[in-house]
């Protein structure tokens, strides 16, 4: 009887790249003058575009595009000794090839694919069991979860690796365009600097995304009471260290030549 070593079951993630397995321990048995040949068969031919074995015992298979599942593959070694007088000229081993599917990933954004600078978006990936997001500009939280919270300063591509329960992985990315349109700026028009932590300062939401800014504040007569380049929401309704009286004041936010000039009013209320 010929010989052939046991063949380990194969588990792979779906790929159309040709795979190969080298057979070990194949011989004609003690009759060393005999030669051997290989034969191969499968109980699930629809799983493969091709499956073959050459004279060296190298098995090559290629999974059919878009398929997954399991096939039992039988490799037979045959010698040229014949079967006369009760002789045995073949020996077979069967093993399994399991092809697991890749995750089918989708990524969505709650703000769409285009946001104003300063906005925060939540990206949600589906189709996997676990998720890992690659480091990128503007990530706030969620790198090891399906939901990634981002606040990018410029157009940025975010990439996630999703894994299935069987360990198959796939990469997917999404690009968020960031518009430099100043639409995410939001100014409070009411200041009550009483130290309670609510409306104590003049706040311009998302001003940190535009550091090349100059904020100026005036009284009704046009006298400038405050000026700050790279404003960071610190004005608390004072002038030269003294609290200003209740009333209406005016502000401008200058972003530089050729940029928009924002202006409006602030009402100071003290209670």
Over residues 3-16, the pLDDT tens digits come to 999 999 999 999 99
Q: Which of 100, 125, 145 is the last residue of a domain?
A: 100
Statement to judge: residues 195 and 124 lie in one domain? no
Statement to judge: residues 121 and 83 lie in one domain? no
1 in any annotated domain: no
Average pLDDT, the chain: 95
Residue 271 has pLDDT above 80, yes or no: no
Q: 């104590």: which residue's tokens?
A: 200
CATH of residue 221's domain is: 2.60.40
Residue 203 has pLDDT above 90, yes or no: yes
pLDDT tens digits for 219-256?
999 999 999 999 999 999 999 999 999 999 999 999 99
CATH of residue 111's domain is: 2.60.40.10
198 in any annotated domain: yes
The pTM of this model reads 0.84
Q: Which domain does 95 fall in, by range? A: 10-100
So what's the pLDDT on residue 243? 93
So what's the pLDDT on residue 205? 96
Statement to judge: residues 191 and 206 lie in one domain? yes
What's the number of domains the chain is made of?
3
Statement to judge: residues 91 and 50 lie in one domain? yes
Statement to judge: residues 21 and 90 lie in one domain? yes
So what's the pLDDT on residue 81? 86
4 in any annotated domain: no
Q: Which of 155, 179, 203 is the last residue of a domain?
A: 179
Q: What percentage of the chain exceeds 90 in pLDDT?
A: 88
Average pLDDT over residues 6-28: 96
Statement to judge: residues 69 and 135 lie in one domain? no
pLDDT tens digits for 55-113?
999 999 999 999 999 999 999 999 998 888 788 899 999 999 999 999 999 999 999 99
Q: Which of 148, 179, 210 is the last residue of a domain?
A: 179
So what's the pLDDT on residue 29? 87
163 in any annotated domain: yes
């Amino acid at each position: 009887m010929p010989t052939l070593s046991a063949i380990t079951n194969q588990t792979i993630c779906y790929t159309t790249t040709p795979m190969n397995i080298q057979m070990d321990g194949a011989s004609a048995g003690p009759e060393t003058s005999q030669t051997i040949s290989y034969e191969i068969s499968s109980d699930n031919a629809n799983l493969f575009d091709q499956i073959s074995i050459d004279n060296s015992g190298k098995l090559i298979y290629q999974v059919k595009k878009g398929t997954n599942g399991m096939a039992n593959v039988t490799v037979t070694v045959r010698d040229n000794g014949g079967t006369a007088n009760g002789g045995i000229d073949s020996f077979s081993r069967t093993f399994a090839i399991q092809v697991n599917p890749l995750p089918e990933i989708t990524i969505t954004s709650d703000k769409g694919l285009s946001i104003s600078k300063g906005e925060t978006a939540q990206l949600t990936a589906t189709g996997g069991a676990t998720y890992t997001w690659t480091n990128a500009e503007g990530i706030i939280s969620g790198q090891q979860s399906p939901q990634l919270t981002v606040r990018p300063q410029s157009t940025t591509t975010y990439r996630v690796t999703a894994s299935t329960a069987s360990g198959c992985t796939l990469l997917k990315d999404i690009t968020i365009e960031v518009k430099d349109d100043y639409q995410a700026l939001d100014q409070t028009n009411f200041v009550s600097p009483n130290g309670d932590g609510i409306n104590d300062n003049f706040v311009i939401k998302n001003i940190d995304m535009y550091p090349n800014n100059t904020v100026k504040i005036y009284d009704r007569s046009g006298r400038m009471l405050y000026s700050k380049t790279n404003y960071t929401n610190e004005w608390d309704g004072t002038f030269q260290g003294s609290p200003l009286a209740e009333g209406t004041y005016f502000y401008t936010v200058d972003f530089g030549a050729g940029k928009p000039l924002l202006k409006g009013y602030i009402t100071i209320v003290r209670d």
